[in-house]
Structure 1
Amino acid sequence: MGVSTSRPGPSGPHGGVAVVTVDFPPVNALPVQGWYDLADAVRAAGRDPGVRCVVLTAPPGSRGFNAGVDIKEMQRESAAGGGHTALIGANGGCAEAFAAVYECEVPVVAAVAGFCLGGGIGLVGNADAIVASDDATFGLPELDRGALGAATHLARLVPQHLMRALYYTSRTATARELHHHGSVWKVVPRGELHDAALELAREIARKDGHLIRLAKAAINGIDPVDVRRSYRFEQGFTFEANLSGTADRVRNEFGKEKST
């Protein structure tokens, strides 16, 4: 359980591709430390001179790519009469993990199977390319869970008005719908996802290592949105929701619905 990295050796099987695997069963909802570990792993892979592309994925057979923040961690702290340590940690950890993907020195390919929710959208929205299984779904159930955020990243996946409708309703979009909008590179059967993601990553990794890093920096430099600042702005409203007590009320109602 946790975050692990497979790096290419001199004659390794991945040919310049590092694979970062995130595994927090049962649903890949990450605790605070998990987000920081993910950020560290992606940044370390990008710094490795032998790496020219990173694949970000979950283990084969996982129920989903990422279910976002482990809200039970915050609920436990709230029930114990604690403060906002878990919330502050989760917000900081998510910001670092999303930024690590965006700022990784080499391109990042997200390999998505099953659900990609909440913080998962932050990761794939900041990735350079997405390969998805045909059962993959993408969405932000934040309003159902007493949170806000990652509209910055959902807006990188779908057009503006669709982003708003998905955000307000907490509905999800399928991999094929995102492929239609051009944000998913390829949709494949789940059993072919790993190979399809590696195929794209290896194609990228065949480029000159120095030039691909310059290309990543150049493309980030012409991005019309500062994704780190935009996301941190959103997080301010998450704090407001928590300080007002709204977040706890909504989270508790969500928990009751799940248990009935």
Structure 2
Amino acid sequence: MRNNLIKVTIEDHVAVVKMDNAPVNAYSRDFSDEMIEVFDELNDTPEVRCIVITGREKIFSAGADIKNRQAIGDIKGETYRHLRRTREVSNCIMECGKAVIAAVNGPALGAGMGPIVAADIILASDNAVFGLPEIDIGLMGGARHTMSLFPKSLARRMILTGYRVPAEEAYRRGIIEACVPLENLMDEAMKMARIIASKSPKALSLAKRAINTVENMPLRDGYRFEQNLTVEMTRHADSKEAMRAFIEKRPAVFKDEI
């Protein structure tokens, strides 16, 4: 991994991905490319069972790099390449076979909301806000992502007015799992990540496959799909180990194998 604009550390089966594109983790071409590379590589790293994504200092991501964006339209075809890169930043997180926790350590705006919506679990510090400033800066986008996470009226308020939702409000509405002081955020995120990382890699992989597949399926079809995954899980060594550990009243010991 480059460890340039995206810093990665791995310990105890947990990868911490820190966006480090000063000053506000804006979506430049290099930033987007490196983010995609990082998640693709972590997805292919057996010892990683959970990923925590966060930002530098007191900012998660301000989204689009407005200064550089003005020059994009001057290069033939670059507008569409830029939009595709931006989409793939969210897609590579959503499609990752590992559990992803977003530890939102400050403002998450515009495209910076993408990793949050794509993550599995969201925690935030009490200085964090969630917003779509596009209406005020001559851009569009982010409505569909926002509407998948925020309630209808609130999402439309964000889109139409640029309202920034404080983390405390997001927690009160049940949109995020925790709102804690900034200095406690990573401790809370790592506590949850270690719980996830203690599970079977095979079970986690199948659970992510189920989550990503059944969300938009009818109940009957979704449950049938999950039952087929259960059959696949019971044929894996981790299933037998989990059952033995339960009977013997001891922690299960899993291998980094899927």
TM exceeding 0.5 = yes
The match for 1:150 among 127, 142, 147 is 142
Partner of 1:69: 64
Q: Deviations over 1:149-192 (max 9, x none)?
A: 12122123211121011101011101111112222111110011
Are positions 1:45 and 2:37 aligned together? no
Shift of 1:53: 0.6
Matched-pair contact (CA < 8 Å) for 1:46–1:54: no
Paired residues for 1:155-170 under 5 Å: 155-170=147-162
TM-score by length of 1: 0.78
Distance in 1 between the 2:34 and 2:202 partners? 26
Moved more, 132-141 or 20-29: 20-29
Structure 2 CA distance, aligned partners of 1:115 and 1:65? Answer: 6
> Partners in 1 of 2:128 and 2:76 — Cα distance?
33
- Cα shift readout 1:106-156 (whole Å, capped 9, x = no counterpart): 110011111000111111011101110001000111111222112122123
Number of aligned residue pairs: give it. 214
Shift of 1:76: 3.5
Relative contact order: is structure 1 or structure 2 higher (C-alpha 8 Å, sep ≥ 6)?
1
Separation in 2 of the partners of 1:70 and 1:137?
Answer: 18
Give me the whole-angstrom Cα distance separating, in 2, the residues matched to 1:218 and 1:141.
33
| Displacement after TM superposition at 1:77 (Å) | 4.5
How far the C-alpha of 1:199 sits from its partner, in A, is 0.9
Which residue does 1:4 correspond to in 2?
7
Instruction: Structure 2 unaligned segments of length 5 or more: list them.
Output: 218-258
Deviations for 1:202-223, whole angstroms, at most 9, x for unmatched residues?
1111111110010001011112
User: Identity over aligned residues, as a percent?
Assistant: 35
1:33 maps to what in 2? 30
Q: Structure 1 76/201 Cα, relative in aligned 2: closer, same or farther at 3 Å?
A: same
**Contact 2:134-2:141 at 8 Å conserved across structures:** yes
Q: TM-score, normalised by structure 2?
A: 0.79
Find the partner of 2:51 among 49, 54, 59. Answer: 54
After the TM superposition, list the runs of 4 or more consecutive aligned residues in structure 1 that deviate by more than 3 angstroms: 83-86
Give the 3 Å change call, closer, same or farther, for CA 157–180 of structure 1 in structure 2. farther
